[in-house]
Amino acid sequence: MKRRNVIKGLALLPVAGSIISQKSVVASPITHANSVNILPVTEASFMADTNIFRRIGVEPVINCMGTYTIIGGSIERPAVREAMEAAAHNFVQYDELADAIGQRLADLTGAEWGMVSAGCAAGLKHITAACVTGGNPEKLIRIPDLTGFDKTEVIIPRYSRNAYDHGIRNIGVTIVHVSTPEELENAINSKTAMIYLTAGSQSEAGQPLSLEAISAIAKPKNIPVLIDVAAQNLTIPPVHFKRGATLVAYSGGKAICGPQCAGLMLGDKSILMSAWQASSPHHGPGRDNKVGREEMIGMMAAVEDWIKRDHAGDWKKWLSWLDTISKKISGIDGIKATITEPTGLSNKSPVLKVSWDPAKLHVTGFEIAEELGRNKPRIALAARDESDGITSVNITTGQMQAGEEKIIAERLYEVLSKNRQAKPEMSAPAANLNGTWDVSIKFFSSTSQHSFTIVQDGNWFSGTHKADFDTRNLSGTIDGGQIKFESTIRIIADNINYLFQGTVNGDTMSGDIHLGEYRTAKFTAIRNSAKPARKRIQIPGGPPLAT
């Protein structure tokens, strides 16, 4: 990302209201986010005991990360909340509602048709079902058993494999990987249901498997191309259609600031009609992905609101917030603050990078992020260590609210200006970890038997972690009797990081495991004292004389 780049992409948006008809669900008076009726956040208001989350013992968070689902995605626009509230007061036949919204979204976006799903990942699932079944309900109710189906394969470029394509895999299809145009040509056959790819640098024009290149191969063979642009800004019309996409999938709860549990699917009407058939309220594999009338109307309102929004004004406001924070911390010795302005469509909002030498301030970006994220008022921001030894935290503006920039500036100044001492050296190891350990891991509702093989070198150790399905490397430290180590399972499109923390006492160790988004587990380990069998190896002098 280049510093202070001119804002790009806004020209793709129509003049405010130019395609909003008089039937707009947000045509009535609405208090918008930039209205004077919305009071700025203050530390007092943020910390109020009346906060609905704090009333049940959950501490809210100021979001400087962006549109991450784990902390709530995005803040719904006032127009969205008003539309959802209005939709909650009447019953409606869902197929009739879906048809009307499909047409309305088409009118708004310039797509052939639109559909609202229960999140973007659910939309991927429904579209895959549509491409596999062709709208035939006899096939639909047999998913994920695709025995006898004509279409059972989905092609995905290797660069596009990701954790969200579980939605596609849930249909029971066979995933076919390709890395070159030639491999794509050879992979397409009568069983190919669709091609799926994600937005990113490798899908851009000029790349071997760009959206344009894939579409040029797929279109003559009548293979639908679905591009996942979950975190992107909505363009009117979506630029991906001109590049050759058949269908485009957006998250409702990210840049568009619609309902968190809604997705926006745009494109080919026949496929989206079949995708709606594969969605709740219809029975079948998509019945568990229910989207309510409130979310459907709210998503449509979000699109209407997106077209009316002053995007240039939002950008200017975000920059002013970062300027407030930057000025506050600029006087701290050793701190460098740099604003970057992304020009791509994904996660598009200005970012303030605050960097320093951890050897001079005696603190890392991770430690600052932890201090801000775990203490009141809680602030979630990203941390990163660079290869040149510099550490940093990033403040992303897209989901910040007016007034929060002052709270962030004060807290960041407070933690960065502390006078810290250099960290003491680790204590001598209290145990020798060399050898093999039998490990019991207690998950929430089951227990697994693993093993460690460890080689220790002073305060450092490494080795292998044999888990349920594979063996991977581990590494860590022992500081007195305190142990910290990690191992990571990596399979295509997924990874799980095991972060162990505990104590060792002679031939036993125990503690907790941090599993990232999968929360926590506990472990106990006992040194395996069995000695390996000793056996002389005898080598034949030539070919075997018997088998």
Per-residue pLDDT reduced to its tens digit, 256-281? 999 999 999 999 999 999 999 999 99
d(CA 379, CA 395): 10
pLDDT at 25: 66
- Report how far apart, in Å, the C-alpha atoms of 201 and of each of 157, 160, 198, 460, 465 are: 13, 11, 10, 38, 34
d(CA 358, CA 279): 51
Q: Tell me the pTM.
A: 0.90
d(CA 119, CA 188): 29
Say yes or no: 397 and 467 in one domain.
Answer: no
Domain that holds residue 203: 17-33+75-307
Q: Is residue 537 part of a domain?
A: no
Q: Which residue has the higher pLDDT, 342 or 34?
A: 342
User: 322-351, pLDDT tens digit by residue?
Assistant: 999 999 999 999 999 999 999 989 889 999
Q: How many domains does the chain have?
A: 3
Say yes or no: 298 and 339 in one domain.
Answer: no
* Torsion region of 478: left, alpha or beta (phi above 0 gives left; psi -120 to 50 gives alpha): beta
pLDDT at 39: 85
Q: What percent of the chain has pLDDT over 90?
A: 89
Say yes or no: 9 and 141 in one domain.
Answer: no
Three-state SS across 279-348?
CCCCCCCCCCCCCCHHHHHHHHHHHHHHHHCCHHHHHHHHHHHHHHHHHHHCCCCCCEEEEECCCCCECC
Give yes or no for residue 355 having a pLDDT over 60. yes
CATH (domain of 268) = 3.40.640.10
Strand 482-491 vs strand 471-479: parallel, antiparallel, or unpaired? Answer: antiparallel
Q: What percent of the chain has pLDDT over 70?
A: 93
Helices (H), 58-180: 78-87, 94-109, 120-133, 137-140, 166-169
d(CA 224, CA 217): 11
Q: What are phi and psi of 286, to 5 degrees?
A: -105, 5
Contact 310, 267 (CB under 8 A): no
User: 365-396, pLDDT tens digit by residue?
Assistant: 999 999 999 999 999 999 999 888 999 999 99
Contact 458, 427 (CB under 8 A): no
Say yes or no: 69 and 79 in one domain.
Answer: no
Say yes or no: 302 and 408 in one domain.
Answer: no
pLDDT at 22: 45
pLDDT at 265: 98
Q: Is residue 544 part of a domain?
A: no
* Torsion region of 345: left, alpha or beta (phi above 0 gives left; psi -120 to 50 gives alpha): alpha
Two structure tokens written together for 471:
């063996």
User: 169-189, pLDDT tens digit by residue?
Assistant: 999 999 999 999 999 999 999
CATH (domain of 346) = 3.90.1150
Say yes or no: 132 and 94 in one domain.
Answer: yes
Say yes or no: 375 and 514 in one domain.
Answer: no
Contact 20, 381 (CB under 8 A): no
pLDDT at 485: 98
Q: What is the mean pLDDT of the chain?
A: 92
User: 414-443, pLDDT tens digit by residue?
Assistant: 999 999 999 999 999 999 999 999 999 999
Say yes or no: 502 and 482 in one domain.
Answer: yes
- Rounded to an integer, the average pLDDT of 36-63 is 90
How many C-beta atoms surround the C-beta of residue 481 within 10 A? 15
d(CA 80, CA 98): 17
Helices (H), 330-395: 358-361, 365-374
How many C-beta atoms surround the C-beta of residue 276 within 10 A? 26
Contact 187, 155 (CB under 8 A): yes
Q: Is residue 233 part of a domain?
A: yes
pLDDT at 440: 98
Residue with tokens 């604003």: 339
pLDDT at 14: 36
d(CA 279, CA 281): 6
Say yes or no: 126 and 172 in one domain.
Answer: yes
Q: 218 falls in which pLDDT band (50, 70, 90)?
A: very high
Q: Is residue 313 part of a domain?
A: no
- Rounded to an integer, the average pLDDT of 185-210 is 97
How many C-beta atoms surround the C-beta of residue 495 within 10 A? 11
* Three-class secondary structure of residue 24 per DSSP: coil
> HSE on the CB side for 73, CA within 13 Å?
21
Q: Is residue 98 part of a domain?
A: yes
User: 453-488, pLDDT tens digit by residue?
Assistant: 999 999 999 999 999 999 999 999 999 999 999 999
pLDDT at 38: 72
pLDDT at 26: 57
DSSP class of residue 498?
E
DSSP per-residue codes, 188-251: --TTEEEEEEE-SGGGSTTSTT-HHHHHHHHGGGT--EEEE-TTBPP-SS-HHHHTT-SEEEEE
Say yes or no: 190 and 47 in one domain.
Answer: no
Say yes or no: 401 and 509 in one domain.
Answer: no
Say yes or no: 150 and 287 in one domain.
Answer: yes
Q: Is residue 295 part of a domain?
A: yes
Give yes or no for residue 37 having a pLDDT over 70. no
Q: Is residue 539 part of a domain?
A: no
Q: Is residue 267 part of a domain?
A: yes
CATH (domain of 505) = 2.40.128.120
User: 143-173, pLDDT tens digit by residue?
Assistant: 999 999 999 999 999 999 999 999 999 999 9
Q: Counting beta carbons within 10 angstroms of the beta carbon of residue 488, is it exposed (0 to 12), middle (13 to 18) or buried (19 or more)?
A: middle
